Amino acid sequence: MKKGNVGFTIVEVLAAIVILGVGVLATAGSAAMVTRMVGEGKQATRMAALASRRLEILRLAAYSTIPRCSSPRFTSGGPIISIGISETWFVPAAGNVRAVSVAVSRPTVRGSRSTVLRSLIAC
């Protein structure tokens, strides 16, 4: 009885190394993209929180006086820059229900990223 050679050929080993290398490079590329997307999500959350906070400040100013919406703090304003994010807000001068908008923006490598939050405030 003749015993055969046991093991892998050099061609099989090289093919396995190439396939494994492609998989590792794909994983590294997607990890970099995921990290960038997480950073973008964090900045978008900060922008939304600042806009929401400004809207609540305006709502508090509108409801803190009698008659409503007569507070001098319930006016348009900005830009105010904090933590690298610029805030600007617009409050219409008259009306029983006012459509208030808060715009936040931040610089990025590819330009500027902005978000607008709008809400109605009853006067």
Ramachandran angles phi, psi of 13, nearest 5°: -65, -45
Q: Which residues contact 86 (CB under 8 A, 6 or more apart)?
A: 78, 79, 80, 104, 105, 106
Residue 117, pLDDT > 60, answer yes
pLDDT of residue 113: 93
Task: Give the pLDDT band of residue 33 (cuts 50, 70, 90).
Answer: confident
Using the Cα atoms of residue 94, residue 98, residue 104 and residue 110 in order, give the sign of their dihedral: negative
Reported as a single tens digit per residue, the pLDDT across 81-106 is 988 999 999 999 889 999 999 999 99
* Whole-angstrom distance, CA of residue 42 vs CA of residue 64: 33
Is-above-0.85 flag for pTM? no
Would you say 55 and 100 are in contact if contact means Cβ atoms under 8 Å apart?
yes
Give the pLDDT mean for 52-62: 94
Reported as a single tens digit per residue, the pLDDT across 70-84 is 999 999 998 999 889
